[in-house]
Amino acid sequence: MALIAKKIKGTEDILPRDSYKWQFVEKVLSEEAKVYGFSEIRTPVFEQTKLFQRGVGEGTDVVQKEMYTFETKGGESLTLRPEGTAGAARALLEHGLYNDGLPIKAHYFTTCYRYEKPQAGRQREFHQFGMEVYGAADPIADAELICAAKSIFDRLQLFDVRLELNSIGCPRCRKNYHQALKEYFAQFSDTLCATCMSRLEKNPMRILDCKSPVCKEIAQNAPKITDFLCESCDDHFKKVQNYLTAADIKFTVNPSIVRGLDYYTNTVFEFISDSIGAQSTVCGGGRYNGLIEELGGNPLPSLGFAIGLERLLMVMEAEGIEIPTPDTCALYIATMGEGAQREAFRIVKTLREAGLEAQFDIVGRGLKAQMKYANKIGAQFSMVLGDNEIDTKSAKLKNMKDSTETEISLGESFMEEFFSALIAEENGLNKAD
C-alpha cells in the first residue's frame, strides 16, 4: 500500500534515534542563556506580513523572495516567521516589556521558514536559538553578547569556530559609504548579476553579501565601511574590540560582513567554521538600534544573535564532538501470564516514580521475543515474571551486559535490592567482587 503523504521538500523529521542530540544541545544553550541572565520568550509561528516588511527590510532577499505569505479567510496577510528577532521585538512593544526595567534580556528556540533552495544545514523549515538584548547602548553590551555566544561554543567544545567582526555604522555614516559603493559598482554594471543591479540604487551594501562568484570577486576591491565610520561609530567599534581583547576572545575584523537583514547597525559579527564547507556561518548577529523605532516604538538600542541548530549539529558531527547518549532502560520485565503482567505493571510504575526508565511487554510478544526486545533497547537488567515468581515473591535479576543473575525479592525490599544492583553495575562491580 502506497503512503498517502510524505514530508514536504525542505523539511526534515527529527527521529527518536536522533532527538537526544537536539535535547543535549538545547539544554546547553538554555543553561548558558540562564547564566547570562536571559529569560525565555516564545512568540507565534506566524505574524502580520508588514512586521517583516518593516522589520527585516523590503529590499532583502528574505522579504522579496523567501517568505511564506498567505491571506486568511478574513483577507489579512500573514507570514510564517523567517527569523526570530522581529517577533521578539513586536512582543516587547506590544506588552510594554521595557517598563519592567532595562535591559531586557530574552532568548528563544524557534522554527523559521524561508522558501529557498534546500541546502546543507538550511532547510525551508529550520530551527534557531537566539539571544536578544533591549535597552543597552554601551559597547560593553556588544562584547557581553559575543562572549555569551563564545561560551556556548566553548561549552560544546567547538574551539575551532572563529569570530569575525565588522561595523556597518549608523545611517549617517552609511550615507557617504553608500555613495562610494554606487560609484564603485557602477563600473561593473554590465557584469553584476540581475539581483545586484536591482540593489545598486536601493541598498548597495547588499551586493557585498551576494553569493554569485562574479559579484563576490568584484566586491573584494570595493570600498570598506570601516573607512567611512563617523567618530561615534568608530569609537563604539574600537571599544567593542578592546573589551573582547580584555576577555581574551580572539577575533578578526572583516569589513565584508554586512549580514543579510536591513535592521542591522554598528557592530555585526559571525562565528564561522571551516569544517562544513561553504555553508560556514554557525552564528550571526549584531546591533539593530533602529528596529524598535521602525516598528512604532520609541528609540531603544538593541542587539542579538541567532544560531542555526541544524548547522550547529553539523559542525559538531564534522569535528567529532560526541554527544552523550541518554540513559538506557534500567529494567525490562518479561512476563508470562496475566498475573505477571499486573505485577510487572506495579513494579514498573514504582521504578518510574523513582525516576528510572523501566519497561515491560505491552504488545503480546512471546518470552523469546521479549528478551530480544530487551537487548534491542539496551536494557541494563531484565527480569522474567511468571506464576512461579509471583508465588515465591522472588525472581532472577539478569545483568544484560555479562548475563550474571541475582536473586531479587519482589516484596518490600525490591527497590533497595534493585538500586544496589544498579549501583554495582554502574561502578563496574559484579557478583565476584
Of all residues in the chain, the percent with pLDDT exceeding 90 is: 81
At 135-190, the pLDDT tens digits run 999 999 999 999 999 999 999 999 999 999 999 999 899 889 989 999 999 999 88
**How far apart (Å, rounded) are the C-alpha atoms in residues 18 and 292?**
38
Query: What is the average per-residue pLDDT within 16-32?
Result: 97
Residue 5 lies in a domain: no
Indicate the range of 172-176, 281-285, 349-353, 359-363 predicted with least confidence: 172-176
Q: Which of 318, 345, 372 is the last residue of a domain?
A: 318
Residue 279: the pLDDT is 57
Which amino acid is residue 327, in one-letter code? D
pLDDT of 290 higher than 70: yes
**How far apart (Å, rounded) are the C-alpha atoms in residues 105 and 302?**
10
Band the pLDDT of 430: cuts 50, 70, 90.
Answer: low
pLDDT of 321 higher than 70: yes
**How far apart (Å, rounded) are the C-alpha atoms in residues 378 and 282?**
34
Query: What is the average per-residue pLDDT within 400-420?
Result: 95
Return phi, psi of residue 309, to 5°. -70, -40
**How far apart (Å, rounded) are the C-alpha atoms in residues 184 and 177?**
11
Residue 222 lies in a domain: no
Band the pLDDT of 276: cuts 50, 70, 90.
Answer: confident
Residue 61 lies in a domain: yes
pLDDT of 246 higher than 90: yes
Residue 149 lies in a domain: yes
Query: What is the average per-residue pLDDT within 72-83?
Result: 97
Band the pLDDT of 65: cuts 50, 70, 90.
Answer: confident
Band the pLDDT of 200: cuts 50, 70, 90.
Answer: confident
Band the pLDDT of 399: cuts 50, 70, 90.
Answer: very high
Query: What is the average per-residue pLDDT within 114-120?
Result: 86
Query: What is the average per-residue pLDDT within 96-116?
Result: 96
The closest of 38, 51, 37, 120 to 83, measured between CA atoms, is 51
**How far apart (Å, rounded) are the C-alpha atoms in residues 405 and 258?**
65
Indicate the range of 28-37, 81-90, 213-222 predicted with least confidence: 213-222
Query: What is the average per-residue pLDDT within 87-97?
Result: 97
Residue 153: the pLDDT is 98
**How far apart (Å, rounded) are the C-alpha atoms in residues 65 and 48?**
17
**How far apart (Å, rounded) are the C-alpha atoms in residues 346 and 326?**
24
Find where cell 529550520 sits. 126
Q: Which three cell numbers stand for residue 299?
A: 528609540
Indicate the range of 101-105, 109-113, 188-192 predicted with least confidence: 188-192
* Full 3-state SS string of 304-328: EEEEEHHHHHHHHHHCCCCCCCCCC
pLDDT of 264 higher than 90: no
Q: Which of 250, 285, 318 is the last residue of a domain?
A: 318
If asked whether residues 275 and 341 sit together in one domain, one would say: no
Task: Assign 357 to helix, strand or coil.
Answer: coil
* Full 3-state SS string of 153-165: HHHCCCCCCEEEE
Identify the H or E element spanning 13.
none
Identify the H or E element spanning 262.
none
Question: Where does residue 183 rank: exposed (0-12), middle (13-18), buried (19+ CB within 10 A)?
Answer: exposed
Residue 217 lies in a domain: no
If asked whether residues 97 and 34 sit together in one domain, one would say: yes
CA 104 to chain centre: 21
Band the pLDDT of 429: cuts 50, 70, 90.
Answer: low
Q: Which domain, by its residues, includes 244?
A: 16-170+230-318
If asked whether residues 308 and 384 sit together in one domain, one would say: no
Band the pLDDT of 261: cuts 50, 70, 90.
Answer: low
Pair 104, 201: CB distance under 8 Å: no
Of all residues in the chain, the percent with pLDDT exceeding 70 is: 98
Q: In DSSP terms, which residues pair with 304 in a beta bridge?
A: 132, 286
Q: Which residue has the higher pLDDT, 420 or 121?
A: 420
If asked whether residues 25 and 108 sit together in one domain, one would say: yes
Residue 20 lies in a domain: yes
Residue 207 lies in a domain: no
If asked whether residues 249 and 366 sit together in one domain, one would say: no
Instruction: Residue 23: give its domain's CATH number.
Output: 3.30.930.10
**How far apart (Å, rounded) are the C-alpha atoms in residues 108 and 44?**
12
Per the prediction, the chain carries an average pLDDT of: 93
What is the C-alpha radius of gyration for the chain, rounded to an integer number of angstroms?
A: 28
**How far apart (Å, rounded) are the C-alpha atoms in residues 331 and 361?**
12
Q: b or e along 62-93 (b: 16 or more beta carbons within 10 Å of the residue's beta carbon)?
A: bbeeebeeeeeeeeeebbbbbbbbbbbbbbbb
Band the pLDDT of 20: cuts 50, 70, 90.
Answer: very high
Return phi, psi of residue 290, to 5°. -100, 0
If asked whether residues 302 and 239 sit together in one domain, one would say: yes
Residue 231: the pLDDT is 96
Asked if omega into 103 is within 30° of 0 (cis), the reply is yes
Q: How is the beta sheet containing 77-80 ordered, strand by strand?
A: 46-48, 77-80, 69-71
If asked whether residues 25 and 105 sit together in one domain, one would say: yes
| H-only helix segments in 69-170 | 85-94, 139-155
pTM over 0.85: yes
Pair 203, 258: CB distance under 8 Å: no
Query: What is the average per-residue pLDDT within 301-307?
Result: 97
Question: Quick count: other Cβ atoms within 10 Å of Cβ 375?
Answer: 11
Q: Which of 265, 292, 318 is the last residue of a domain?
A: 318
At 340-349, the pLDDT tens digits run 999 999 999 9
Q: How far is CA 335 from CA 38, 169, 348, 359, 417, in A?
A: 49, 70, 12, 11, 20
Q: In DSSP terms, which residues pair with 212 in a beta bridge?
A: none
Instruction: Residue 397: give its domain's CATH number.
Output: 3.40.50.800
Q: In DSSP terms, which residues pair with 122 in a beta bridge?
A: 119
If asked whether residues 25 and 86 sit together in one domain, one would say: yes
If asked whether residues 47 and 116 sit together in one domain, one would say: yes
The closest of 344, 129, 371, 146 to 240, measured between CA atoms, is 146
Residue 406 lies in a domain: yes
If asked whether residues 382 and 266 sit together in one domain, one would say: no
Residue 362: the pLDDT is 95
If asked whether residues 256 and 352 sit together in one domain, one would say: no
State how many domains the chain has: 2
If asked whether residues 146 and 32 sit together in one domain, one would say: yes
Query: What is the average per-residue pLDDT within 371-377?
Result: 96
